[in-house]
Amino acid sequence: MPRFLRSLPSVLTSRRGAWISLITGVLVLVALIGAFGRVTLDARSGSAPADSESAQVTALEQRFPDADQQALLIVASRDDGGELTETDLRALAALSDPISTETGEDVFGPMPSDDGEAAALQATVSAADDDQAEAAVDGVREVVAQHPIDGVTMQVTGGPAFGADVAAAFDGADFTLLLVTILIVALLLIITYRSPVLWLVPLAVVAFADQLAGKVTAAIGNALELQFDTGIVSVLVFGAGTNYALLLVSRYREELQRSDDHRTALATAYRTTAPAILASNATVVLSLLTLVLAVIPGTRGLGVASAVGLLIALAAVLLVLPPALAVCGRGLFWPFVPRPGRAVGEGRAWRAVARSVVRRPWLPLVGGVALLAVMASGVLGASIGLSQVEKFRVPSESAAGLEVLGEHFPPGLAQPMIVIADSAASDEVTAAIEDVDGVEHVTAAGESADGALAKLVVTGDAAPGTAENRALIEDVRAAAHDVSGADALVGGQGAAELDARSGNLYDFLVIAPLVLLVSLIVLVLLLRALVAPIVLLLVNAVTAIAAIGAGAWLSRVLFGWDALDLQVPLLAFLFLVALGVDYTIFLVHRARTEAARVGTREGMINALAATGGVITSAGVVLAGVFAALGMLPLVTLGQIGLIVGIGVLVDTLVVRTLVVPALFSVVGDRMWLPGSVRREPSVPVS
CA distance 516 to 581: 10
* Residue 501 CB coordination number (10 Å): 16
CA distance 160 to 138: 10
Q: Which amino acid is present at 434?
A: E
Q: Which of 169-183, 430-444, 452-466, 592-606 has the lowest mean pLDDT?
A: 169-183
**pLDDT at residue 347 in the model:** 67
What's the whole-number mean pLDDT along residues 671-679? 75
Side-chain-side CA neighbours of 605 within 13 Å: the count stands at: 25
CA distance 20 to 12: 8
Q: Which amino acid is present at 676?
A: S
CA distance 269 to 185: 22
Q: How many distinct helices (H) and strands (E) make up the chain?
A: 24, 8
CA distance 104 to 277: 60
CA distance 493 to 474: 14
Are the C-beta atoms of residues 549 and 375 closer than 8 Å to each other?
A: yes
Nearest to 674 by CA among 562, 533, 573: 533
CA distance 486 to 419: 11
**pLDDT at residue 682 in the model:** 45
Positive or negative CA dihedral for 322, 324, 326, 331? negative
* Residue 129 reports pLDDT greater than 70: no
Using DSSP's 3-state secondary structure scheme, residue 47 falls into coil
Using DSSP's 3-state secondary structure scheme, residue 361 falls into coil
* Residue 426 reports pLDDT greater than 80: yes
CA distance 550 to 634: 20
* Residue 88 reports pLDDT greater than 70: yes
Mind giving me the DSSP string for 308-343? HHHHHHHHHHHHTHHHHHHHH-GGGGTTS--BTTB-
Nearest to 269 by CA among 618, 525, 603, 5: 5
Assign 592 a pLDDT band (cuts: 50, 70, 90): confident
Sheet arrangement for strand 439-447: 439-447, 453-460, 417-422, 489-491
* Residue 124 reports pLDDT greater than 80: yes
Q: Which amino acid is present at 352?
A: A
Question: What crossing angle do the helices spanning 159-169 and 397-408 adopt, rounded to 10°?
Answer: 150
* Residue 393 reports pLDDT greater than 80: no
Nearest to 124 by CA among 90, 167, 75, 159: 159
Residues 6 or more apart whose CB falls under 8 angstroms from that of 472 comprise 412, 436, 438, 439, 460, 461, 462
CA 134 vs. chain centroid, Å, equals: 26
CA distance 661 to 175: 41
Using DSSP's 3-state secondary structure scheme, residue 107 falls into coil
Q: Which amino acid is present at 149?
A: I
Strands 108-112 and 118-126: antiparallel
Q: Which of 214-223, 347-356, 415-424 has the lowest mean pLDDT?
A: 347-356
Q: What is each CA distance from 40 to 312, 448, 459, in whole angstroms?
A: 18, 35, 38
Assign 615 a pLDDT band (cuts: 50, 70, 90): confident
Using DSSP's 3-state secondary structure scheme, residue 523 falls into helix
pLDDT tens digits for range 248-272: 998 898 899 888 899 999 999 999 8
Nearest to 284 by CA among 519, 503, 632: 519
Nearest to 159 by CA among 58, 237, 80: 58
**pLDDT at residue 195 in the model:** 86
Q: Which amino acid is present at 403?
A: E
Mind giving me the DSSP string for 642-669? HHHHHHHHHIIIIIIIIIHHHHHHHHGG
Nearest to 322 by CA among 201, 239, 240: 201
Are the C-beta atoms of residues 624 and 642 closer than 8 Å to each other?
A: no
* Residue 685 reports pLDDT greater than 50: no
* Residue 681 reports pLDDT greater than 50: no
Assign 620 a pLDDT band (cuts: 50, 70, 90): confident
Indicate the helix (H) or strand (E) that contains 490: strand 489-491
Using DSSP's 3-state secondary structure scheme, residue 491 falls into strand
CA distance 176 to 394: 15
Are the C-beta atoms of residues 491 and 57 closer than 8 Å to each other?
A: yes
* Residue 675 reports pLDDT greater than 60: yes
What's the whole-number mean pLDDT along residues 425-448? 91
CA angle, 263 as apex, 260 and 264 as ends, to 5°?
65
Positive or negative CA dihedral for 336, 341, 345, 346? positive
Name the more confident of 415 and 683: 415
CA distance 292 to 552: 26
CA distance 241 to 591: 23
Question: What crossing angle do the helices spanning 200-224 and 15-36 adopt, rounded to 10°?
Answer: 40
The pTM of this model reads 0.85
Backbone torsions φ then ψ of 123, nearest 5 degrees:
-110, 165
Query: Would you mind telling me the total number of residues written for the chain in this entry?
Result: 686
CA distance 209 to 207: 5
Are the C-beta atoms of residues 520 and 584 closer than 8 Å to each other?
A: no
Q: What is the mean pLDDT of the chain?
A: 87
DSSP 55: H
Assign 337 a pLDDT band (cuts: 50, 70, 90): confident
Q: Which of 71-75, 164-168, 294-298, 549-553 has the lowest mean pLDDT?
A: 164-168
Q: What is the dihedral of CA 252, 254, 258, 261, to 10 degrees?
A: 20
* Residue 269 CB coordination number (10 Å): 25
pLDDT tens digits for range 175-197: 888 888 888 888 888 888 888 88
Domains of the chain: 1-38+171-344 (1.20.1640.10), 66-169 (3.30.70), 347-395+501-686 (1.20.1640.10), 416-491 (3.30.70.1320)
**pLDDT at residue 677 in the model:** 65
Q: Alpha helix (H) ranges present in 85-172?
A: 86-93, 96-103, 130-146, 159-169
**pLDDT at residue 636 in the model:** 87
Positive or negative CA dihedral for 296, 297, 302, 308? positive
Q: Which amino acid is present at 261?
A: D
CA distance 574 to 568: 10
Q: Which amino acid is present at 588?
A: V
Distance between the two ends of the chain, CA-based, in angstroms?
34
